[in-house]
């Protein structure tokens, strides 16, 4: 009897099988936690031998690092701003994509966003992603906006977004547009407090307000 071939059982290329294992690792670690998942569990779910998984990754720890790097690469690709858009549109679109993507697998991302305390490799992977976000932010601002104070402000804002996401994901409320609006308000307030040129802040706020209304149908950011 004919049918669709099981994608796990068919002959896969090295890259396909590695990608399958990474996706599976993200799901299992997110569902059950790192300590509760064995190499044998992963191999059984993937339909391969434990020896093959060791062949690809060396150890469970190395596999964990590879899963984390894979997940962060995906998140970076999804949230990469479209530089053909205005700065406000870039910011709003990237934040909306970030939250939508995290919401698609809230358990897995809650695990990843908590980071790897005490694991230097995991910390380096997370730092690489944060650096990309920082550079994207300043690429959308006028020359001269990148100062020690504004860089500190942006780093703090990234940490704020992580905390907001961690507490928002389990409940999924308030709705996504309101959360983006909150993140944008924190961003603008941080840049203003870091003494970014007031004209730049004013123009960015107007641009962001328009983007929020146009893309998400939410009210403008109001800061006193």
Give pLDDT tens digits for 107-150: 667 667 766 556 788 888 888 999 999 999 999 999 999 999 99
Two tokens at 7? 């994608």
pTM of the predicted structure, to 2 decimals:
0.83
**How many Å apart are CA 208 and CA 193, to the nearest integer?**
18
* Burial (CB count <10 Å: 0-12, 13-18, 19+), residue 56: middle
| Integer Cα distance of 222 and 54 in angstroms | 54
Mean pLDDT of 54-61: 89
In angstroms, the CA 178 to CA 107 distance is 21
Q: Which CATH architecture has domain 68-216?
A: Orthogonal Bundle (1.10)
Query: What local confidence, expressed as pLDDT, does residue 171 receive?
Result: 81
Q: Which of 42-51, 134-143, 191-200 has the lowest mean pLDDT?
A: 42-51
Mean pLDDT lowest for which of 27-36, 155-164, 178-187? 27-36
pLDDT of residue 164: 95
pLDDT at 52 exceeding the cut of 60:
yes
Please give the angle made by the CA atoms of 94, 125 and 66, to the nearest 5 degrees: 105
pLDDT tens for each residue of 205-221: 999 999 999 888 877 66
pLDDT band, very low/low/confident/very high, at 47 (cuts 50, 70, 90): confident
Predicted confidence at residue 34, as pLDDT, reads 77
Q: What share of the chain is helix, strand, coil (3-state, %, to 5)?
A: 70, 0, 30
pLDDT value at residue 190: 98
What pLDDT is attached to residue 4? Answer: 42
Q: Comparing C-alpha atoms, which of 68, 71, 69, 96 is closest to residue 82? A: 96
Q: Is a pLDDT exceeding 80 seen at residue 96? A: yes
Which one of 3.40.190.10, 3.30.360.10, 1.10.10.60, 3.40.50.300 gives the CATH number of domain 14-58? 1.10.10.60
Q: What percent of the chain has pLDDT over 90?
A: 48
| CA 163 – CA 175 distance, rounded (Å) | 16
For the chain, the domains span 14-58, 68-216
Task: Tell me the mean pLDDT in the region 160-183.
Answer: 91
Q: How far apart are CA 27 and CA 134, in angstroms?
A: 28
Nearest to 23 by CA among 97, 74, 80: 74
The predicted pLDDT at position 208 comes to 95
- Under the banding of pLDDT at 50, 70 and 90, the label for residue 170 is confident
Mean pLDDT over each residue of the chain, to the nearest integer: 87
Residue by residue, DSSP assigns 144-159 as: T---HHHHHHHHHHHH
């Amino acid at each position: 009897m004919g049918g669709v071939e099981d994608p796990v059982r068919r002959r896969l290329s090295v890259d396909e099988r590695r990608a399958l294992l990474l996706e599976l690792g993200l799901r299992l670690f997110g569902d059950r936690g790192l300590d509760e998942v064995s190499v044998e569990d992963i191999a059984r779910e993937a339909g391969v031998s434990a020896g093959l998984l060791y062949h690809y990754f060396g150890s469970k720890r190395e596999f964990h690092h590879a899963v984390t790097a894979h997940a962060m690469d995906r998140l970076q690709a999804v949230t990469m701003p479209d530089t053909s858009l205005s700065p406000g549109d870039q910011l709003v679109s990237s934040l909306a994509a970030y939250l939508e993507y995290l919401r698609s697998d809230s358990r897995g991302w809650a695990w990843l966003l908590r980071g790897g305390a005490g694991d230097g490799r995991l910390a380096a992977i997370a730092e690489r992603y944060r650096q990309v976000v920082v550079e994207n932010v300043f690429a959308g601002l006028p020359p001269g906006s990148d100062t020690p104070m504004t860089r500190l402000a942006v780093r703090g804002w990234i940490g704020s977004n992580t905390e907001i996401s961690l507490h928002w994901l389990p409940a999924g409320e308030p709705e996504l547009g309101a959360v983006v609006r909150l993140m944008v308000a924190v961003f603008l307030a941080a840049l203003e407090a870091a003494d970014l040129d007031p004209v730049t802040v004013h123009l960015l706020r107007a641009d962001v307000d328009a983007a929020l209304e146009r893309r998400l149908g939410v009210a403008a950011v109001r800061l006193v």
